């Protein structure tokens, strides 16, 4: 009887561990599937012009409950393409870069943005949105300066319905990747 209970316990333990491994593998598979779907949703975004991209980002802000949202980008915008208020009232200032997916945004672009976003525009939340990746140096700079970065992956998730506020507290120094995407070949 004791041996039967021990054997059953051993089998149960093995099954539980196997179930956990399977659940973890499924979680990883679903995350990868979501990432691929988010990237696919980006195809239309890469076809937008610069002003259209800025308006698209402004519309995403509005969708997620931001108020007083306006596109202000253009010549002499001092690094602000979209300005508004988050649902909690904080002022958000957004710099938008619609680049080809195989390009990257480097540290100099973030340094310029950082130089004006708080002093000139009074941002509580400085957000830099790009349709490509950020370099490792840019990500490190953003982490030191508390800049929020949305690369192509986060933009894809935002585009797919994940609310803006769900992304704002990510640790940009530890999340994401700086590996460039491959260009399309015709």
Which ranges of the chain have pLDDT less than 70? Answer: 1-11, 13, 15, 34-41, 170-186
pLDDT digits (tens, 9 = 90+) for 45-98: 888 999 999 999 999 999 999 999 999 977 777 889 999 999 999 999 999 999
Residue 175: per-residue pLDDT: 47
Residue 101: per-residue pLDDT: 84
Residue 37: per-residue pLDDT: 61
Structure-block tokens of residue 56? 């698209």
| Buried residues in 86-123 as b, exposed as e (16+ CB within 10 A) | beeeebbbbbbbbbebeebbebebbeebbebbbeebeb
């Amino acid at each position: 009887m004791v041996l039967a209970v021990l054997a059953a316990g051993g089998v149960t333990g093995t099954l539980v561990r196997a179930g956990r491994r399977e659940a973890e593998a499924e979680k990883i598979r679903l995350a990868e599937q979501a990432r691929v779907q988010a990237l696919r949703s980006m195809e239309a975004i890469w076809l937008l012009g610069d002003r259209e991209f800025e308006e698209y980002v402004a519309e995403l802000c509005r969708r997620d409950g931001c108020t007083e949202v306006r596109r202000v980008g253009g010549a002499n915008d001092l690094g602000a393409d979209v300005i508004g208020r988050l649902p909690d009232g904080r002022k958000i200032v957004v710099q938008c870069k619609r680049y080809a997916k195989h390009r990257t945004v480097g540290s100099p672009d973030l340094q310029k943005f950082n130089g004006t976003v708080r002093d000139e525009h009074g941002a509580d939340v400085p957000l830099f949105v790009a349709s490509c990746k950020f370099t490792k140096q840019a990500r490190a700079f953003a982490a030191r300066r508390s800049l929020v970065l949305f690369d192509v992956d986060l933009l894809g998730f935002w585009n797919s319905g994940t609310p803006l506020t769900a992304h704002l507290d990510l640790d940009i120094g530890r999340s994401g990747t700086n590996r460039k995407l491959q260009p399309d070949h015709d």
